[in-house]
Amino acid sequence: MKKSLLALASGAFILGAAEFVMMGILPQAAEATHVSIPTAGNYISAYAIGVCIGTLILVFGRKVPPRNLIVLFMVIALVGNTMSAFAPNAAVLIVARFISGLPHGAFFGTATLIAKTLADKGKEAQAVSVMVTGQTVANMLGVPAGTLLAEYLNWRLAFGVLAAWAAMTIVLTVTMIPYVAPIKDAGIAGQFRFLTRRGPWVILAAVFTGNAGVFCWWSYVSPWLQKTGGWSSALVPVMMMLAGFGMVVGGLIGGRITDRWRHAGTAALGQAISGIGLLMVLLLPGNHVTTALLTFWIAFGLFFISAPQQLLMTEAGQGGGELIAGAAVQVAFNFGNAVGSIIGGAMLTTFSMNYRFTGLGGLPLAVLSVGLLAFYSWRCETDTEAAHRLREIKV
């Protein structure tokens, strides 16, 4: 299992880095493709659209062994990042970013199923959290490294490295991940049967609102650190590494707690941690200590919820919809990111560019997410065919 998780974490790394690296190299990419910074924002949006559309790959790949699907996703990532590295103009780069985003949601849905299937009984969430660690390490190391490559060498090198990483992951997948049987073939319509129940919609709403709340602040974390915390621009990459470290620690701890407690309860706890952090963004005076602490704290909460939410949806989709259900989490995640950025921008406009008020915009959404997860645990748990997880424990 450990070898398999290494291969899956490698795939999560490349997709996590590909998603967020553009934020650090946007000025250089905009200059090279002769567009303005706002127009270059389409390079980020194109990836998010690819994430949503790419989920449909799973509709037609339900009969394919999951390991083969992972190989396919890495081939697509290889093509997309290679195109990004050599894109001659803005139009080609937008297409390349769209292609790069296609495997994202589908990968995490498939990787969650593999990790859960191969895990020891009672350690499913820990296995998923190790897989997701690849994405958090990408935020801790990959994104700052890409930013430095763009600053001192060439922004295209960041995508070249990601393309090479995808090729390496293909080899790891073939050699390290054993055969896992395809999911039950319930037909095209049967894959979406789980959406006829309210439980999965509650989970997705919680993912959407929780991430929208955090990204009200996270989308503007760099200027917040500088304007509110007094950090110099040269030290912002260091703070991003601190945030990435918080994501790694949060993901691992969240996975361990999930295996020992209720999945929805663990997710609600993580959302509450993020919500408290957003409240402190609004209330605490800005200085080096408070902004560094909150950067770690909110990032910790953001990925504390990854394993429980992925497992909740995968279990909700049992009977043929596991892959689609797991991928739907990433769609809701990315949709929440986009909406949160818009709300955070509106708060800045309303409150004269005071970056502390991004916390005010995100707080109600975080509270709503906690409430949704509590409602799910109270009323929907047995309505998602997840009752088999209930097991006797002696206190």
- The CATH number covering residue 135 comes to 1.20.1250.20
Q: Which domain holds residue 216?
A: 186-386
The set of residues, in sequence order, having a beta carbon less than 8 Å from that of 86 and lying 6+ positions away, is: 156
Answer whether residue 25 is part of any domain.
yes
In a domain, 266, yes or no: yes
User: 147: how many CB neighbours lie within 10 A of its CB?
Assistant: 21
| In-domain check, residue 96 | yes
- Does one domain contain both 205 and 174? no
**String of DSSP letters for 63-122:** TS-HHHHHHHHHHHHHHHHHHHHH--SHHHHHHHHHHHHHHHHHHHHHHHHHHHHHSPTT
Domain termination residue (choose one: 156, 185, 214): 185
Asked whether residue 317 falls in the same domain as residue 191, the answer is yes
Q: Considering the domain boundaries, does residue 83 fall inside one?
A: yes
Last residue of a domain, one of 138, 163, 185: 185
Total number of domains in the chain: 2
Nearest to 275 by CA among 371, 363, 358: 363
Q: What span, in angstroms and rounded, lies between the C-alpha atoms of 9 and 132? A: 6
392 lies in some domain: no
Phi (first) and psi of residue 235, to 5 degrees = -95, -5
My answer on whether 272 and 338 are in the same domain is: yes
User: What number of other Cβ atoms are within 10 A of residue 128's Cβ?
Assistant: 33
In a domain, 395, yes or no: no
Q: Is residue 231 domain-shared with residue 353, that is, in the same domain?
A: yes
User: Are both 69 and 118 inside the same structural domain?
Assistant: yes
| 229 and 138 belong to one structural domain | no
In a domain, 394, yes or no: no
Whether residue 133 sits in one domain with residue 222: no
The Cα-based distances of 393 to 82, 122, 246 in angstroms read 51, 12, 31
Same domain, 166 and 205: no
- Same domain flag for 153 and 216: no
What is the rounded CA–CA span in Å between residue 364 and residue 212?
A: 10
Q: Looking at the structure, do residues 240 and 318 belong to the same domain, yes or no?
A: yes
Greatest CA separation found in the chain?
65
Q: Is residue 131 part of a domain?
A: yes
Spatial neighbors of 115 by CB under 8 A, at least 6 apart, are: 4, 5, 8, 124, 127, 128, 130, 131
Asked if residue 214 and residue 358 are part of one domain, the reply reads yes
C-beta of residue 198 within 8 angstroms of C-beta of residue 372? no
Same domain (yes/no): 141, 222 = no
Boundary residue ending a domain (124, 154, 185): 185
Integer angstrom CA distances of residue 28 from 31, 155, 162, 348: 5, 7, 17, 25
Question: Could you tell me if 375 and 268 are in contact, meaning their C-beta atoms sit under 8 angstroms apart?
Answer: no
Q: CA angle, 284 as apex, 281 and 288 as ends, to 5°?
A: 85
Q: What is the pLDDT along the chain (395 residues), one digit of tens a residue?
A: 578 888 888 888 888 888 878 766 777 888 888 887 667 767 877 887 888 888 778 777 767 888 888 999 999 999 999 999 998 998 999 999 999 988 887 888 788 888 878 777 777 777 777 777 777 777 777 777 887 887 788 889 989 999 999 999 999 998 888 887 776 665 666 667 777 778 888 888 998 999 889 888 887 777 788 888 888 877 877 887 888 888 888 888 887 887 777 778 888 888 899 999 999 999 988 889 999 999 999 989 888 887 788 777 777 766 666 677 777 887 888 788 778 877 888 888 888 888 889 889 899 999 999 999 888 877 766 554 445 555 566 66
What is residue 184's predicted lDDT score, i.e. its pLDDT? 67
| Rounded CA separation 88/97 (Å) | 13
